[in-house]
C-alpha cells in the first residue's frame, strides 16, 4: 500500500487521470443496491493521496487546476458507473436516441463531476500536511454533494451517504442527521486509510488509530440503530386499509397506440382481485392506489373511463392514482402552451376528482427539455417518448382528500430530494407513485426505491410506494419494508400503514443543522490547520 500511495502522489497527466477514474468507479460499488462499503475505503484514500502530490496554483487557476481535475476524474468514474442504468431509457426509442446513449450517460456524469472537481479544488486551497486534511476534503466534498442536490434543479442520486444505509439498523442515523449528514460521515471515515500509508516515522499503532475510530463509528451507528428499532413502538392505523396495484402497463411510451378502454379495464380487473378464496376484494379497502404513468391519455378527458372507475369503487373507497392532468381555462378549453401536469388525482365513488397534486420537481430532459429551442434545431422536442413534456405544479405536496388522513404526495423522482418533500409535521404518511419501466432490467428501480426509504426514516412517516413495474413497497416509519411486490410482478398489495413515529424525528426538528455544523467546523479547522507551519503527517 505504501507503493500505491507513493505511485498516486507521484503520478501526473493521463496516468493520474486513469488512476482516479478507476478509483471513482470502484467507489461506485458502495452505492445502492450493492452497498460494498469497503470499496469506498479503498477508493477515497486515492483522492487524498492525489491531492497530496498535486501542484499548487495561484489565483483563479486554483479552481480549475490540478486539484479540480483530480476531483473531476474521480467523479467521472463514480457517476458513470453508479448511474449507468439511466442509459436503459434510450432503448425505448432506439435509432438516434440509442446512438446518443453513451454520450448522454457520460455527459451527465461529467456535469455532476464538476461539483466534485470544485470541492476538490477548494479543499486543496486549505490543504495541510497533517491528518486534518481528510476532514478538509470530507467537508468540501460534503458541501459539493449538497450543491449537487440543490443547484440547477438538483440531482441528488447516489449521494455518498447512501453507502451507510445497507440495512435497517444503519438506516436509523438518517432520522437524526439526514442523508447529507451521512454523506459527511461516509466521506470522512472512508478516507482514514490514507493516514496509514505511506509509512513514516509514526509507529504502526498511531497510524492505525483513525481507521479503528472509523470502525467504531460504524459499530456505533449499527448499535444506535438497533436500539432505536427496539425502543420505538409503532401502532397500525385503524382508519386505513390500502390496496396498491402494480399493473405493468407499458403503453406510456406511445400514446397514439394506447387503447383507453383496455387500460382502464385492466386496472379495474387487477383492483378487484381476490387474494384468497375468502378475500372480499375491494370492499373493506379504504384507499386504492394506482401508480404513475398507467394512463397514456388525459383521464379527465375520458368520461367513459371515469364512469367505469366510479362503478368499480365502493362508497367507502377512494382512488389515489397517478394520471396526466390537462389544465383547462375558464372557457373549458385547454390552456395554450401548457402541455399538462403529471399528477396524483383523488377520485371518489361518484367519479369526482376531490383533490389533486401536480408534480412540481420535474426531471430535466425526461419531463421537460432545458434549452428547448436549441434541441428543436435537431428536430428533438423531447428525449423521453410518449409526451411533449410536462408543466411544473405549484409545489404544495400536502393532500387532504375527504375522509383521508393528510399525506405528502410525491411523484416518482420527487422522493429522492431530502428535506424538500413538504412539511412532515402536518402529514400522517407519504404517498409515492412512480414508473420505473424505463429502467427495467437494470439496478435503477432498486436504487430508486432505496432512496425513497430514506425519506420515511428522515421524516418518521410511513410510505406507500406504488410502482407501475416495481418495486411496490409498504415502508414503515423506521424505513423497514413491511410488504412488497417484486419487480415486474403483476399484482396487488394490501397493507395497513402505521401511525408516524411518536414525537417525530430529530431531522424533522433541526433539519440539516448537524450537517452544516459539521461542515462549518471542518472548514474552520481546515483554515487553521492550513496556516500552521508544514510538517510531515
DSSP 476: -
Query: pLDDT tens digits for 162-209?
Result: 999 999 999 999 999 999 999 999 999 999 999 998 876 667 788 889
Global pTM value: 0.92
In 385-427, alpha helices (H): none
Report the C-alpha gap between 20 and 45 in whole angstroms: 10
More confident residue, 36 or 276: 36
CATH class for the region spanning 242-270+286-501: alpha beta
C-alpha distances out from residue 168 to 226, 227, 450, 453, 465, Å: 8, 11, 11, 10, 18
pLDDT in tens, 227-267: 999 999 999 999 999 999 999 998 876 787 889 999 999 99
For the record, the C-alpha cell of 107 comes out as: 455527459
pLDDT tens digit string along 280-317? 889 999 999 999 999 999 998 899 999 999 999 999 99
pLDDT at 537: 40
What are the tens digits of pLDDT across the range 488-501? 999 999 999 999 99
Q: Which residue has the cell 461506485?
A: 28
d(CA 286, CA 240): 6
* CA separation, residue 483 to residues 262, 427, 479 (Å): 29, 21, 12
Confidence of residue 536 (pLDDT cuts 50, 70, 90): very low
Q: What is the pLDDT of residues 50-81, one digit of tens each?
A: 999 998 876 667 778 999 999 999 999 999 99
> Is the four-CA dihedral 132, 15, 197, 145 of positive or negative sign?
positive
For residue range 391-427, list pLDDT tens digits in order: 888 889 999 999 999 999 999 999 999 989 999 999 9
| Per-residue pLDDT at 187 | 98
pLDDT at 60: 67
Distance CA 12, CA 10 (A): 7
**Per-residue DSSP letters for 421-473?**
S--GGG-SEEEEEE--GGGTTSSHHHHHHHHHHHHHHHHT--EEEEESSS-EE
Peptide bond just before 33 cis, omega within 30 deg:
yes
Q: Tell the burial category of 97 from Cβ atoms under 10 Å away from its Cβ (0-12, 13-18, 19+).
A: middle
Delimit the domains of the chain by residue range: 2-231+511-530, 242-270+286-501
- What are the pLDDT digits (tens) for 113-143? 999 999 999 999 999 988 999 999 999 999 9
Side-chain half-sphere CA neighbours of 141 within 13 A: 29
**Catalytic residue annotation:** 292, 359, 412
Amino acid at each position: 500500500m505504501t507503493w500505491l500511495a507513493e505511485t498516486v502522489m507521484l503520478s501526473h497527466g493521463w496516468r493520474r487521470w486513469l488512476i482516479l477514474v478507476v478509483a471513482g468507479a470502484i467507489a461506485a460499488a458502495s452505492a445502492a443496491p450493492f452497498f460494498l462499503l469497503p470499496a469506498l475505503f479503498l477508493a477515497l484514500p486515492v483522492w487524498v493521496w492525489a491531492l497530496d502530490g498535486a501542484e499548487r496554483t495561484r489565483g483563479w487557476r486554483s479552481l480549475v487546476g490540478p486539484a479540480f481535475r483530480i476531483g473531476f476524474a474521480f467523479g467521472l468514474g463514480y457517476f458513470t458507473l453508479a448511474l449507468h442504468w439511466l442509459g436503459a431509457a434510450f432503448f425505448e426509442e432506439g435509432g438516434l436516441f440509442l446512438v446518443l446513449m453513451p454520450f448522454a450517460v457520460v455527459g451527465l456524469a461529467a456535469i455532476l463531476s464538476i461539483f466534485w472537481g470544485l470541492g476538490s479544488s477548494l479543499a486543496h486551497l486549505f490543504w495541510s500536511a497533517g491528518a486534518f486534511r481528510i476532514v478538509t476534503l470530507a467537508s468540501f466534498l460534503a458541501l459539493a454533494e449538497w450543491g449537487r442536490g440543490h443547484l440547477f434543479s438538483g440531482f441528488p442520486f447516489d449521494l455518498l451517504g447512501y453507502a451507510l444505509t445497507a440495512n435497517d439498523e444503519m438506516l436509523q442515523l438518517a432520522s437524526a442527521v439526514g442523508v447529507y449528514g451521512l454523506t459527511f460521515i461516509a466521506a470522512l471515515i472512508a478516507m482514514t486509510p490514507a493516514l496509514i500509508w505511506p509509512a513514516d516515522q509514526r509507529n504502526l499503532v498511531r497510524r492505525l488509530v483513525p481507521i479503528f475510530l472509523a470502525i467504531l463509528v460504524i459499530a456505533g451507528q449499527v448499535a444506535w440503530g438497533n436500539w432505536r428499532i427496539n425502543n420505538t413502538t409503532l401502532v397500525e392505523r385503524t382508519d386505513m386499509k390500502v390496496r396498491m396495484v402494480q399493473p405493468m402497463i407499458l403503453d406510456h411510451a406511445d400514446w397514439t397506440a394506447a387503447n383507453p378502454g383496455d387500460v382502464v379495464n385492466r386496472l379495474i380487473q387487477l383492483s378487484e382481485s381476490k387474494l384468497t378464496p375468502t378475500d372480499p376484494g375491494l370492499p373493506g379497502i379504504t384507499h386504492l392506489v394506482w401508480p404513475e404513468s398507467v394512463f397514456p391519455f388525459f383521464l379527465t378527458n375520458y368520461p367513459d373511463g371515469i364512469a367505469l372507475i366510479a362503478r368499480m369503487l365502493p362508497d367507502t373507497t377512494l382512488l389515489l392514482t397517478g394520471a396526466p392532468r390537462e389544465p383547462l381555462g375558464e372557457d373549458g378549453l385547454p390552456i395554450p402552451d401548457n402541455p399538462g401536469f403529471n399528477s396524483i388525482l383523488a377520485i371518489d365513488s361518484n367519479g369526482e376528482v376531490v383533490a389533486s397534486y401536480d408534480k412540481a420537481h420535474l426531471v430535466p430532459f425526461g419531463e421537460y427539455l432545458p434549452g428547448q429551442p436549441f434541441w428543436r434545431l435537431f428536430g428533438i422536442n423531447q428525449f423521453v417518448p410518449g409526451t411533449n413534456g410536462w408543466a411544473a405544479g405549484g409545489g404544495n405536496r400536502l393532500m387532504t382528500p375527504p375522509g383521508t388522513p393528510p399525506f405528502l404526495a410525491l411523484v416518482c423522482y420527487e422522493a429522492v430530494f431530502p428535506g424538500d418533500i413538504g412539511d412532515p409535521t402536518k402529514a400522517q404518511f407519504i404517498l409515492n407513485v412512480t414508473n420505473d419501466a424505463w429502467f427495467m432490467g437494470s439496478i435503477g428501480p432498486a436504487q430508486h426505491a432505496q432512496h425513497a426509504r430514506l425519506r420515511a426514516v428522515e421524516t418518521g412517516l410511513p410510505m406507500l410506494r406504488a410502482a407501475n413495474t416495481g418495486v411496490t413497497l409498504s415502508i414503515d416509519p423506521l424505513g423497514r419494508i413491511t410488504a412488497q411486490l417484486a419487480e415486474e410482478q403483476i399484482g396487488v398489495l394490501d397493507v395497513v400503514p402505521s401511525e408516524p413515529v411518536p414525537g417525530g424525528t430529530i431531522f424533522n426538528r433541526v433539519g440539516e443543522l448537524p450537517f452544516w455544523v459539521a461542515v462549518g467546523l471542518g472548514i474552520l479547522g481546515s483554515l487553521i490547520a492550513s496556516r500552521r507551519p508544514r510538517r510531515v503527517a
